Structure 1
Amino acid sequence: MNLFRMDTSIMPSMSASSELADIVEAEWKAAHPDGSVTRRHLGTHPIPADAWPLATLSRFLPEDQLTPGHRDALALADELAAELRAADAVLLAVPLYNYGVSQHFKAWVDMIVHTTGNSGPALKGVPTVLVTVRGGGYGPGTPREGWDHSTPFLTRVLADMWQADLTLVERELTLAGIKPEMEQFRELADDLHTRAREAAQQAGRALAIR
């Protein structure tokens, strides 16, 4: 059994999304002690900004006009797609940044689409856990309700376009206790943190048996 895990936080040492992903992974590994984990960290090792344009443009060029940059981009796209194809289960940790999807994750999506676009859904039926966290509050009735433009995109790509068997684990108010202006939400944030950890544990157990 093989678990593919991706992290995208730009602050690995204090990542709220990675903390929850660790819980999911621990549950999966407990059920599959002989299983392997393939890791990719886009926060510390992002995909080059020109990789997707180079890979895409290479489709329209004859073989003798491909530059080393084109060939490197194509090789990277194939490598990324191969990691998904080899996965029996997938774990993605993708925090909200500036109200939208992480540019690192978007670059990865574009590369996967380039490689698998004509070969069917990239994760059809594959059990997948998406961990996403938000520094503030975006729920119904909050001042920033509707400002989270990341989670709808993530679920659209993973569940609808790639047809993954998707489970979502979420946590909000991760900056309460860090930003002084959010101190009033500390107690609520602690409660949401506890609930998120419990949800991650349940998701990990379900991921292991699906």
Structure 2
Amino acid sequence: MTKILRIDSSIKGEASITRRLSNKIVDQLGGELVSRDATRIPAIDGAWIGAAYTPADQRSDEQKQLLTLSDELIAELKAADTIVIGCGVYNFGVTGPLKAWIDQICRVGETFRYSEAGPEGLAGPKRVIVAYASGGVPAGSAFDFATPYIKQVLGFIGITDVTVVAAEGVNLDEAAAIAKAEEQIIKLAA
């Protein structure tokens, strides 16, 4: 059975379009589901960075504790076959909660490593479907900084199979934007 990790990052709760799209994507795919609400993930800080870059066998108990959530999020990521990411666009980019999730899962020695050939991703291969919703910024346009960022950071950790399902222009015609995204969802192959 396919294991799906769903990441919700909208601060709009049940009013979130990306959450509605993610529901439809998960229903379309079927499988064993783990859901994570990124709005509950704290931002990293200097102490976290210090812990992450301290060799595992040299970490203090406090440093181990600082990385507990990160360890859990990375385990969820690695266990998943498919990841569904709800990505609302705020001010041309990803939400703060989505950035917090990304910061927690991008860890040297865990999801990437540096080699003489450059960075090497350790988290792939995985399939990712991004449920994208924006008020007026088309996905892939010159003003879309969210999807290129997501693709870049996922590629950095070794995940390159990324599909974007887009509800664009929800502030102009919400029903039409959602209908277009739902057509894309129907076409997703399991």
Q: Report the TM range for the smaller structure's normalisation.
A: 0.7 to 0.9
- Which residue type is aligned with residue 129 of structure 2? V
Paired letter, 1:196: A
1:163 equivalent in structure 2: 159
State how far apart, in whole Å, the 2-side matches of 1:168 and 1:93 are: 10
Please list, as runs of the form range in 1=range in 2, the aligned pairs for 1:94-109 lying within 5 A after superposition. Answer: 94-109=87-102
Percentage identity across paired residues of the two chains: 27
1:147-191: CA deviation from partner (whole Å, max 9, x where unpaired): 322121112222465333211111112123xxxxxxxxx3xx433
Contact 1:52 1:107 in 2 (8 A): no
Alignment of 1:125-144 (within 5 A): 125-138=125-138
- Aligned equivalent of 2:184: 199
Match of 1:79 in 2: 72
Q: Indicate conservation of the 8 Å contact 1:159/1:166, yes or no.
A: no
TM-score by length of 2: 0.82
**Residue 127 of structure 2 is aligned to residue 121 of structure 1:** no
Which has more helix, going by share of residues? 1
Instruction: Tell me, yes or no, if the aligned pair for 2:128 and 2:163 is still in contact at 8 Å.
Output: yes
Q: SS of 1:155's equivalent?
A: helix
Structure 1 or 2, whichever has the larger Rg, is: 1
Alignment length (residue pairs): 181
Provide the residue aligned with 2:37 in structure 1: 41
Q: For 1:171-210, what aligned pairs fall within 5 Å after superposition?
A: 171-176=167-172, 186=173, 189-203=174-188, 206=189, 208=190
Equivalent position of 2:84 in the other structure:
91
Picking from 143, 146, 153, the partner of 2:142 is: 146
Q: Which deviations, in whole Å up to 9, do the C-alpha atoms of 1:11-52 show, x marking residues without a partner?
A: 1111111111111111112xxxxx421110113x1x222x35
Alpha-carbon distance change, 65 to 200 in structure 1, aligned in 2, over 3 angstroms:
closer
Label 1:71 to 1:12 Cα distance change in 2 as closer, same or farther (>3 A): same
Q: 2: CA distance between counterparts of 1:139 and 1:48?
A: 27
Distance 1:56 1:66 in 2: 14
**Which stretch shifts more, 81-90 or 116-125?**
116-125
Q: Is the strand fraction higher in 1 or 2?
A: 2
2:117 alignment counterpart: none
Code of the aligned partner of 2:5: F
With normalisation by structure 1, the TM-score equals 0.75
